């Protein structure tokens, strides 16, 4: 009899829970609705603009405004150092871009394609290995040069809203620069944090 009463009590409780609508639980990680302005920054990697080998590492920042079509500016500073038997070469890129993006928001994510065009300020310094021991001085020992080259980037972008105004920002794609009159293809990728307000 005791078992029968327990089973009956369970069935009544189960039936009541089916009849009553479940309470809507709050979002454990609430976020603010998307707005027009996104500012992001983080780590960046890519191929050097004018160096034939190596991997550049640095930082990237940007600001975009708009919903479906967004306009803004981007900047990145990347550096790489490579060596051969004769030289040690340090290569730095300062990438400055005006950018336009087409994007779509779905839930917490924003997916898009961003085109950036502008210039890259390239600084290259060369040091002849063991040149001081050989008594070399001046340009025989080390050289340094700056060049501003036109360039453009085409990147796929993902923004994932986390908590409040903060989001995870990912971007990456090919890059093209005109170096000494010829096209130099490379790529750039970014991982960072964005603030959307």
Q: What is the pTM of this model?
A: 0.76
**161-183 confidence digits (pLDDT tens):** 988 889 999 999 999 999 888 99
**21-69 confidence digits (pLDDT tens):** 554 455 566 666 657 899 999 999 999 988 877 899 999 999 999 989 9
Summary mean pLDDT of the chain: 85
Tell me the C-alpha to C-alpha distance, in Å, between residue 171 and each of 8, 40, 55, 130. 58, 11, 17, 41
pLDDT at 180: 86
Query: Average pLDDT in the 135-160 region?
Result: 86
Side-chain-facing half-sphere of 14: CA atoms under 13 Å: 6
Could you give all domains of the chain from N- to C-terminal order, each with its CATH number? 33-196 (2.40.160.20)
């Amino acid at each position: 009899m005791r078992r029968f009463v327990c089973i009956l009590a369970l069935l009544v409780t189960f039936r009541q829970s089916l009849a009553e609508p479940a309470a809507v639980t709050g979002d454990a990680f609430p976020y603010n609705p998307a707005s027009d302005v996104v500012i992001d920054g983080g780590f960046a990697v890519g191929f050097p603009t004018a160096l034939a080998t190596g991997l550049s590492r640095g930082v990237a920042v940007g600001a975009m405004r708009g919903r479906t079509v967004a306009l803004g500016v981007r900047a990145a500073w990347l550096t790489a150092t490579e060596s051969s038997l004769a030289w040690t070469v340090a290569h730095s890129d300062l990438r400055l871009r005006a950018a336009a993006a087409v994007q779509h928001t779905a839930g917490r994510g924003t997916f898009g394609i961003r085109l950036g065009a502008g210039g890259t300020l390239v600084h290259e310094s060369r040091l002849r290995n063991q040149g001081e021991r050989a008594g070399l001085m001046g340009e025989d020992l080390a050289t340094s040069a700056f060049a501003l080259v036109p360039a453009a980037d085409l990147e796929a972008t993902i923004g994932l809203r986390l908590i409040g105004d903060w989001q995870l920002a990912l971007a990456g794609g090919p890059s093209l620069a005109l170096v000494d009159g010829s096209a130099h293809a490379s790529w750039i990728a970014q991982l960072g944090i964005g603030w959307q307000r």
